[in-house]
Structure 1
Amino acid sequence: MKKYLWGSIIFFACLFLGGTVSANAEAQMYRLYNSNSGEHFYTKDPGERNYLITSGWDSEGIGWIAPDNGEPVYRVYNANAGDHHYTMNLSERDYLISVGWKNEGTGWFSDEDKRTPIYRAYNPNAKAGSHNYSAHSSEQQGLISAGWQDEQIGWYAVAAGGNYSAAEKIAQINALSQRYSNRNVNIYYEGLVDNNAGTAGINPDRQIFAASVAKLPIAAYVQDRINRQLLAPSAELLYLNSANYVNEATSTGGTGSIQFETNFWNKHYTVDDLMRRLFVNSDNLASNQLLAQICYNNMEDFQRYINNVYGVSQYSRMMTAREAGKLMAAIHRQNGIANQVMSETDWKNDKIGALPVKVDHKVGMANRYNHDAAVVYGSQPFILVVLGTDISNQEITKIAQGIYQIVQS
């Protein structure tokens, strides 16, 4: 999107949230980034922040903590360039207003005790985002090294930015998910630790054909029987062609490695081998053997298990993102075969797997369907499921990157 359109989003966001900005309480100053224009934006208003995230801006956490009183920092807006400027200098503000910038009032205050400097740098080659403001001297020095001009200190803060609360993270993830309100995309997020606890997303309870993500209930139940010592990983199953024709079996073509082996229809396979192939290669034939010979051969117990884990009474390849998320959480807790291989599959660097931390995930693809269900590790682990129609791998990665950035803030 062109820069002036992104600027219009900011302008209308201000109108939507009540016109000029006021500053009457100590505030976390949220920092956002527009990758299309290169502009950083700063606001104390969580509603404005969430509106911009919905519109495509990236959350970059809390820039600094502003005091509840002090000298005002003024905010002005250039509709032609789609750019904001922030200054304590009345003369600078008035000059910009005189040449067409819109006065947006007082954005926040500068700390009179001058506890934390906010550094200002200028890029003379940028049409939007020409100024950067940071509480971190290392960022300032990095910009100067890259050719930005050092404009010293713009104002002062009480402190540099801290971490978002769990509630703020959930609000931002919901806002990010709203970008896909007009798409056939289902997103489910669940935090796994206290400071990112809660669930978020969009259309988490809308059913969709889950493709190979529907192999998760099979794997989870097989591992459950192993954990209850009702099944040994070394147990051997004779390959049965009839397994490929049971209810809800996957197609005999598609992904997998068994189908390319010589005389596979006469072989025995261990449960451990079939489980590993199910995840590493998303092997359809391996999944069908486990479904028919273990799940369906213990139907009453299988139905009990899936009902307890994700609330369904009958196995189906139609699933919701929340159901896939509950299954990923269950597999995460099992600490079994899946946990040994889910980060090293044939798709380990695709979709959610492109994140810069360990990711255990199960992908699914079929015609227009494109899915991923994951446990994302790092300092703030979480569950993320994206089930969609006509969505690319790159879009799934972008969703994951946006949510990861919010969670780590």
Structure 2
Amino acid sequence: MAVAFRTLDGRDDVLIDPDKPFHAASTMKVPVMIELFRQRAEGIVSLDEPLAIRNEFRSIVDGSPYTLSEGDDSDREVYAALGGTMTLGQLNESMIAVSSNFATNLLIEKLGVENVRRTVKALGAEGMQVLRGVEDQKAFDKGLNNATTARGLLVLLEKLAQGQAVGARADGEMIEVLKRQKFGDAIPAGLPPGTPVAHKTGNITRIHHDAAVVYATRPYVLVVLVRGIDEQKQSAALIAAISRAVFEATQAPAGR
């Protein structure tokens, strides 16, 4: 497990194994979104731009084609659009809010994975590595996986929360997308009901992550990366317990 916590005022932080590498799972979708908004800011793309929806991608190992399985995805909307189009903005919403793997691969193909990597490096998110899209089995078998550290995700979310990733307006839009994330069994579950939280989860077998900006009275960033727990309910409960402890410690009245 790794934990990275810092208040947005920079006055308090806790770092536990912040540079330990983990499979990124779906947390790698955050830098993909940042790259989308960066390219929009530079006039390269528009969120209203339509993109053809086709289910064929190329392995980074040998260029061979592979497809995604609808049954393994958390979203059906993109599959329903096969043969048609969706806008880049719609695909981004699916990628973040419901963690669509299909939308992720389409966006990575459009934006260029090398551009995502450059943006991650430029933002100083050390330990975060975006090599490929999702479900490239040949790459997985060779150990060519997207990776992250708690520190890397902490840096990305701090930049977004402070308007320093792309720009104040774009970063604010991205924060709003992250607030619409549908999976709330980890960090949000440890917060009082109604606490605004902008976050991205990541789950694969025996991996469970959540990375969040918590907009409490004293706002903060919290990243919890968990590896090795078989049952997702157990890992979710662990992350929620950490979230609850952090909230209670940071929001305690003065003198308590």
1:280 lines up with 2:116 in the alignment: no
Aligned length: 216
| Deviant stretches of 4+, over 6 Å | none
Please say if residues 19 and 127 of structure 2, whose CA atoms lie closer than 8 Å, have aligned partners that are also in contact.
Answer: no
1:399 to 242, 246, 251: 242
Q: Give the AA of the match of 1:273.
A: Q
Equivalent-residue separation in structure 2 for 1:220 and 1:313 (angstroms): 14
Equivalent-residue separation in structure 2 for 1:260 and 1:304 (angstroms): 30
1:376 aligned residue: 214
1:344 lines up with 2:180 in the alignment: yes
- 1:291-329, Cα deviation, whole Å (9 max, x unpaired): 111133xx3x44331111114695241111111111222
TM-score with structure 1 length normalisation? Answer: 0.49
Q: Provide the secondary structure at the position in 2 that maps to 1:225.
A: helix
1:335 aligned residue: 171
- 1:98-145, Cα deviation, whole Å (9 max, x unpaired): xxxxxxxxxxxxxxxxxxxxxxxxxxxxxxxxxxxxxxxxxxxxxxxx
Distance 1:219 1:378, change over 3 A: same
Equivalent-residue separation in structure 1 for 2:14 and 2:68 (angstroms): 33
Please say if residues 196 and 216 of structure 2, whose CA atoms lie closer than 8 Å, have aligned partners that are also in contact.
Answer: yes
Please show how residues 291-330 of structure 1 align to structure 2 within 5 Å: 291-296=108-113, 299=114, 301-309=115-123, 310-311=125-126, 315-316=130-131, 317-330=146-159
1:55 aligned residue: none
Please say if residues 187 and 203 of structure 1, whose CA atoms lie closer than 8 Å, have aligned partners that are also in contact.
Answer: yes
Unaligned runs of 5+ in 2: 132-145, 164-169
Please say if residues 157 and 212 of structure 2, whose CA atoms lie closer than 8 Å, have aligned partners that are also in contact.
Answer: yes
Q: Give the AA of the match of 2:213.
A: V
Please say if residues 97 and 180 of structure 2, whose CA atoms lie closer than 8 Å, have aligned partners that are also in contact.
Answer: yes
Equivalent-residue separation in structure 2 for 1:247 and 1:329 (angstroms): 31
Equivalent-residue separation in structure 2 for 1:382 and 1:214 (angstroms): 20
Please say if residues 351 and 397 of structure 1, whose CA atoms lie closer than 8 Å, have aligned partners that are also in contact.
Answer: yes
2:226 aligned residue: 388
Q: Provide the secondary structure at the position in 1 that maps to 2:74.
A: coil
Distance 1:250 1:256, change over 3 A: farther
1:258 lines up with 2:94 in the alignment: no
Q: Give the AA of the match of 1:315.
A: V
Q: Which protein is bigger by CA-based radius of gyration? A: 1
Please say if residues 204 and 320 of structure 1, whose CA atoms lie closer than 8 Å, have aligned partners that are also in contact.
Answer: yes
Distance 1:267 1:307, change over 3 A: same
- 1:214 deviates by 1.5
Please say if residues 223 and 337 of structure 1, whose CA atoms lie closer than 8 Å, have aligned partners that are also in contact.
Answer: no
Choose between structure 1 and 2 for higher RCO, CA contacts under 8 A separated by at least 6 residues. Answer: 2
Equivalent-residue separation in structure 2 for 1:406 and 1:250 (angstroms): 46
- 1:399 deviates by 0.1
Equivalent-residue separation in structure 1 for 2:208 and 2:2 (angstroms): 11
Equivalent-residue separation in structure 2 for 1:251 and 1:363 (angstroms): 20
Q: Percent identity?
A: 25
- 1:193 deviates by 1.4
Q: Provide the secondary structure at the position in 2 that maps to 1:384.
A: strand
Q: Give the AA of the match of 2:37.
A: Q
Equivalent-residue separation in structure 2 for 1:403 and 1:191 (angstroms): 10
Distance 1:314 1:404, change over 3 A: closer
TM-score with structure 2 length normalisation? Answer: 0.76
Please show how residues 124-139 of structure 1 align to structure 2 within 5 Å: none
Please show how residues 198-217 of structure 1 align to structure 2 within 5 Å: 198-217=12-31
1:232 aligned residue: 46
Aligned-pair Cα RMSD in Å = 2.3
Distance 1:235 1:353, change over 3 A: same
Equivalent-residue separation in structure 2 for 1:246 and 1:268 (angstroms): 23
1:221 lines up with 2:56 in the alignment: no
- 1:246 deviates by 4.2
Q: Provide the secondary structure at the position in 1 that maps to 2:39.
A: helix
- 1:15-70, Cα deviation, whole Å (9 max, x unpaired): xxxxxxxxxxxxxxxxxxxxxxxxxxxxxxxxxxxxxxxxxxxxxxxxxxxxxxxx
Q: Provide the secondary structure at the position in 1 that maps to 2:14.
A: strand
Q: Provide the secondary structure at the position in 2 that maps to 1:398.
A: helix
Larger proportion of strand: 1
2:143 aligned residue: none
Q: Provide the secondary structure at the position in 2 that maps to 1:265.
A: coil
